[in-house]
A and B are shown apart, each in its own frame.
Chain A
Amino acid sequence: MSYQGHFRIWRGDVAGGEIQDFTVEVNEGEVVLDIIHRLQATQAGDLAVRWNCKAGKCGSCSAEINGRPRLLCMTRMSTFTEDDTITVTPLRTFPVIRDLVTDVSFNYAKAREIPAFAPPKGVAAGDYRMQQIDVERSQEFRKCIECFLCQDVCHVVRDHEDNKDSFAGPRYLMRIAELDMHPLDEMDRKKQAQDEHGLGYCNVTKCCTEVCPEHIKITDNALIPMKERVVDRKFDPLVWLGSKIRRRENV
């Protein structure tokens, strides 16, 4: 039932580091995070890793396994053979702090730049009425556990540090879509998505959707519909004319 598995784990900090080899016991039914914990308890007491729930619900234990962004707690050892060597490295898009722990503050900074829910004026708490079918679109995006795997995999920032300023990343573009589709939110968010948060950078390769552990259709259901509506606003002659007239009234 158990065997000695081969692991290669990146260890180091901001000053540099290297992949280190470990041979460690693997038991039936385990996930990669179990192996990391066994290494901590037996061979590397100070091996740094983030984790919380160990049930795929908190999105803390994000790392790259054999080069693919994954949750350590949801990657089962049974998906590998006993002879496979499993390489675990920190998320590449974010600066490393130590071992498998990276500085994900980029994401929290982006979160703060998205204007919050704009509640309907004149509707008291307790009087909100929404139909299930209308909340379901945003509910899909609210399944997000903020593991930041989509942010990590997105090529716009993965290999282009200089895009980070102007691009919020899939998670936060989806947050804008979520608020935009909220039945009672009072703000128009499409222009902001395009102008301030870099929606235009997304060229729909769907890598974010592929790595999402919650299986949210980030590209199809959040980003593409928003792109379409941005396009409508920009090029629809009626919308264009309407906006000109309104602007003139404000003068």
Chain B
Amino acid sequence: MSDREVQRHRYDVVVIGAGGAGLRAAIEAREQGMRTAIISKSLFGKAHTVMAEGGIAASMGNVNARDNWQVHFRDTMRGGKFLNNPRMAELHAKEAPDRVWELETYGALFDRTKDGKISQRNFGGHEYPRLAHVGDRTGLELIRTLQQKIVSMQQDDLRDHGDYEAMIRVFDECAITDLMQDGPRVAGAFGYFRETGDLVVFEAPAVVLATGGIGKSFKVTSNSWEYTGDGHALGMRAGASLLNMEFVQFHPTGMVWPPSVKGILVTESVRGDGGVLRNSEGKRFMFDYIPDVFTKQYAESEDEGDRWYSDPENNKRPPELLPRDEVARAINSEVKAGRGSPHGGVFLDVSTRLPAEEIKKRLPSMWHQFKELADVDITKEPMEVGPTCHYVMGGVEVDPDTTAASVPGLFAAGEVAGGMHGSNRLGGNSLSDLLVFGRRAGLGAAQYVGSLGGRHPAVRESDLDDVIGFALQPFETEVGENPYEIHQELQQAMQDLVGIIRRPEEIEDALARLEKFRERATKVKVVGHRQFNPGWHLALDLRNMVIVSECVAKSALERQESRGGHTRDDFPAMDADWRKVNLVCSHAPGSVEVDLKRQPVPDIRADLIALFDRSELAKYLTEAELAALPEGDLT
């Protein structure tokens, strides 16, 4: 192929991302009769979803029959500190059970209860055992099940159309660098194949962003190389807005040693199944960190917490199972106070809590991971753990029912979408989010394409010239910087200056550096040619990481309170007035600057607010909001 030659493909729906959300969206679009393309940066079946360990939250009530969608909704709102988009939290809680059951019809094999139903486990912030799971490799089961469902649809297409790829095709190791537009409307997506370096344009009236998160902008992260905020940046460059980017979840338990595995996730199931956190003095310190809003739900003594595992009806849960933001901050404080473990974390111990065989059965991947990477036998000794950048709650602003972004023809689902999790996501709510909103994205995109009646937007040749130039520019630069160096500096800056605890002067410092990174990222030079060239790939991803990091830093500077995944040293408390505010980032047309504006959080419908009692609401709402509630019992 010549330098600027471009392969062309035409589809009804193009899904960017082949993790849980992307695959579920593609399955739905295909079932709605759309010719669908799935674009995957990696090989098919390798997406970051495989890393999810604990389970899928869905109120099936298999283990505790009291569970239902209302309780799940309530837990989700509490976890997100009431900043969640309430309609998204409602749809998610209502539809998650059906999405899990459906996986069994695709061939998934979850762990079972004694009566043969899907087993459910305890997790942080969930009132009842709620997570459908397969040991501690639930994400792998999810991705493989969806992958195999797509293969089964392709087998149907071979039978019906004589071609596996007649209706749904996976383009693997393909990265998208730009969305194509016809006026404001989406007209397709442009990118390159990693394997060959060939350029490609997909002409399609609907694009679903399902690209996951942004963790690779931080130094210590549980995220894979793919998590460079591509969808966030593509959406923003196309005119969509990003919601609440200041909320970044630091998972409390990442590995801290040896250095090469720092950040790799240690599943919350360790705590759900009885593991406890201790400091260097041997103390279960989490009892000292139960915030006011959660005093009613968490045990006050170790005895009570321990009794809860066998008798949850009459005891409160141990504080190790507080939402992730609380646990991460507590660990951070213990380490700062000099009570940390030798390698700068704290101890997570399951060895004294469960018999060795039980640990290997319930937590096989964790046993394996520590044994092989750290020489630690978790059945005999505690693990050392510390916070790791894990998830971004912020993302593309979407309509809850259809997942449509403000750009016509653009949809977003999963981690790249914002709103669902408010200021902090509960464990287990990610996999359910992927399934619920992945399906809705496929449906929303199909309905949108149907509404066009065949009048599809067109890709303009002049635009194509521009995006080709943009993609190939790192090869044109004569003297330029090494992309790996800029990436390392960016990660260090975000880690140090916009990390777990944030100070305004540090965020300002980060913003000043980011402006320089933005400039430097356009002058990167790569060596070699276009075929499978990781330096080139990083050079292009770097631009996305810079945009997303700017959004995180700007929003973090603006929000003068601490809530969920955003903690300000100078404003340590939650502020009820700020609960009403969403921060929204966008590009002004033709500008590379990030514009930030405030926008009201959608009201919580009366029937949903009635699920909480007044004393709990008083912890989150303003005086004026409380006064406006109806008299008497809300239910």
Q: Do A and B bind each other?
A: yes
Contact B527 A45 (CB under 8 A): yes
> Least Cβ distance of B59 to chain A in Å?
13
Contact A115 B533 (CB under 8 A): no
Q: How many residues of A contact B (CB 8 A)?
A: 58
Q: Does A251 contact B (CB under 8 A)?
A: no
Cα A25 to Cα B111 with chains together (Å): 44
**CB-CB under 8 A for A101 and B112, given A27-B259, A55-B264, A60-B46:** no
Please encode chain B, from 257 to 278, with 1 for each CB lying within 8 Å of some chain A CB and 0 for all others: 1111100110000000000000
The residues in B between 473 and 508 inclusive whose CB is less than 8 angstroms from any CB of A are 482-485, 488
Q: Does B470 contact A (CB under 8 A)?
A: no
Partner of B48, one of A29, A41, A53: A53
Q: Which residue of A lies closest to B223 (CB)?
A: A53
**CB-CB under 8 A for A49 and B260, given A40-B484, A97-B195, A138-B109:** no
Cα A5 to Cα B260 with chains together (Å): 16
Please encode chain B, from 20 to 57, with 1 for each CB lying within 8 Å of some chain A CB and 0 for all others: 00000000000000000000001111101011000000
Cα A129 to Cα B372 with chains together (Å): 36
Task: Kindly list chain B residues whose C-beta atoms are within 8 Å of the C-beta of A31.
Answer: 260-261, 373
Q: Does B98 contact A (CB under 8 A)?
A: yes
Q: Does A20 contact B (CB under 8 A)?
A: no
Contact A52 B533 (CB under 8 A): no
Q: Does A128 contact B (CB under 8 A)?
A: yes
> Least Cβ distance of A174 to chain B in Å?
13
Q: Which residue of A lies closest to B226 (CB)?
A: A52
Contact A104 B43 (CB under 8 A): yes
Contact B134 A40 (CB under 8 A): no
**CB-CB under 8 A for A29 and B224, given A48-B533, A98-B532:** no
Partner of A53, one of B51, B104, B152: B51
Task: Kindly list chain A residues whose C-beta atoms are within 8 Å of the C-beta of B225.
Answer: 51-52
Task: Kindly list chain B residues whose C-beta atoms are within 8 Å of the C-beta of A13.
Answer: 531
Partner of B112, one of A51, A55, A97, A131: A131
Contact A54 B224 (CB under 8 A): yes
The residues in B between 513 and 528 inclusive whose CB is less than 8 angstroms from any CB of A are 526-528
The residues in B between 446 and 488 inclusive whose CB is less than 8 angstroms from any CB of A are 482-485, 488
Selected interface stretch from A81-89, A142-150, A193-201, A230-238: A142-150
Q: Does A125 contact B (CB under 8 A)?
A: yes
Among B105, B110, B111, B365: residue with most chain A CB under 10 A: B105
Q: Does A240 contact B (CB under 8 A)?
A: no
Q: Does A119 contact B (CB under 8 A)?
A: yes
Contact A117 B106 (CB under 8 A): yes
Task: Kindly list chain B residues whose C-beta atoms are within 8 Å of the C-beta of A34.
Answer: 260
Contact B534 A48 (CB under 8 A): yes
Task: Kindly list chain A residues whose C-beta atoms are within 8 Å of the C-beta of B482.
Answer: 41, 45
Beyond A29-B258, A46-B526, A97-B195, 5 additional contacts (C-beta under 8 Å) are: A51-B225, A112-B164, A125-B104, A126-B97, A135-B111
Q: Jot down 30 A-B pairs with beta carbons below 8 A, ordered by A.
A: A28-B258, A29-B261, A34-B260, A45-B484, A45-B528, A46-B527, A46-B534, A48-B531, A48-B534, A50-B42, A52-B50, A52-B224, A54-B261, A57-B140, A97-B531, A98-B532, A101-B532, A103-B195, A112-B154, A112-B155, A115-B155, A126-B98, A126-B101, A128-B104, A135-B112, A139-B111, A142-B134, A143-B137, A145-B50, A179-B107
